[in-house]
Amino acid sequence: MSDFIIIDTDPGIDDSLAFVYAYARNLPVKNITTVYGNSTLSNVTRNAGFIIKSLGSEWSLHKGRARPLTGKARLAESHGNTGLGDTVPKDSEILFPSTISAEKLFDALALSDQMVTLLCLGPLTNIAYSLDKNPDLIKRISRIIIMGGAFTENGNVTAYAEFNVYNDPSAFRKVIDYAYQNGVDTTVIPVELCRQILLTDHDLNNLEGNSLLLNVRQIVEPFIRYYVDDATYGGYEGAVLYDVLVPLYCEFPSLFEVVRCRISVEERIGEYYGKTIFKIDAASSVKICTTIQVNEAKETILRALSKH
């Protein structure tokens, strides 16, 4: 594993559960950088500060980009009014962001001799912007793990596009291209794989009173209801645990099967905007996850989310 981890994120309920997983498993997280996505930048930064402080972690928090490189952000509907259901933390419950922005953090990393793993849970705007500004940053990145894309099933924001990619296709393309051209070990976990790991009402009942996440029912139950009840993107037995699979892969890549490939994305406005396509390339450093050991993966996640 690399020297340390930066989580780039837009919390978001599943992002918050990914925080809990990373904390419980003692992954070497050092910094959290926030980006618009599941809610506004202000909301997701507050949510990240709430989860960090609730866990009692020593991670530092850095505020990132509020809008995509091009186009207009589309905020999520599945995470409630604030991004954490309807939870509105008090100021006393929040770790406030550092005066060092995400941009300045990546500027400093580009000039350092440290190596980092990036766990990317939201739109890739922060990463793409910083790579364009400081191309040498790519030399400091040993591994990138991304939740994004829809390759073999419908997307979760349009028929063709996954939410994170749809919010900034240009940023996604830039990060993937930088990684491919520089041989950086990069793994994309697509939406169709995430749909195999669901958090059900039964799981929530078992977690309540035994979770590392404060107010777990208040935060998670609206997420479950959305995925059970929504007429367009619902119909599942529980909530899709998208972002939790990123730190899971970071720790246990053997639970997944991958294919090496080239990835392209549609950036032109229209029906296929944000659509991702892959082509097998055995020499590529870029991979997509194609299968997951469902039972073992879910058991590992639920153990991490529990106090015991």
Which residues make Cβ contacts (< 8 Å) with residue 306, sequence separation at least 6?
A: 206, 207, 210, 211, 212
Cα separations in angstroms, 85 against 6, 210, 217, 260: 25, 20, 10, 37
The Cα 152–Cα 66 span in angstroms is 30
CB 130 within 8 A of CB 105: no
CB 1 within 8 A of CB 25: no
Tokens (6 digits) for 178: 């930088």
**DSSP structural state of residue 99:** S
Chain position carrying tokens 């919010």: 167
Amino acid code (one letter) for 29: V
pLDDT at 209: 83
Chain position carrying tokens 């507050």: 46
The Cα 277–Cα 229 span in angstroms is 29
pLDDT at 84: 83
pLDDT at 235: 87
pLDDT at 231: 72
Q: Tell me the angle at which helices 216-229 and 13-24 cross, rounded to the nearest 10 degrees.
A: 130
Residue 161's Cβ-side half-sphere holds a number of Cα atoms within 13 Å equal to 24
- For 203-230, the DSSP string reads HHHHHTTSBSSTTHHHHHHHHHHHHHH-
- Each of the 308 residues of the chain gets a pLDDT tens digit; together they read 458 999 999 998 999 999 999 999 999 999 999 999 999 999 999 999 999 999 999 999 999 999 999 888 887 766 666 778 777 888 899 999 999 999 999 999 999 999 999 999 999 999 999 999 999 999 999 999 999 999 999 999 999 999 999 999 999 999 999 999 999 999 999 999 999 999 999 999 999 888 888 788 888 898 899 999 887 888 899 999 999 999 999 999 999 999 999 999 999 999 999 999 999 999 999 999 999 999 999 999 999 999 75
0.85 exceeded by pTM: yes
The DSSP bridge pattern shows strands 116-120 and 198-199 to be: unpaired
Domains assigned to the chain? 4-305 (3.90.245.10)
**DSSP structural state of residue 95:** P
The Cα 169–Cα 112 span in angstroms is 29
- For 247-300, the DSSP string reads HHHHH-GGGEEEEEEEEEE--SSSTTTTBEEEEE-TT-SEEEEEEE-HHHHHHH
Distance spanning both ends of the chain, measured CA to CA: 25
Tokens (6 digits) for 203: 């799981």
DSSP-based three-state secondary structure for 55 = helix
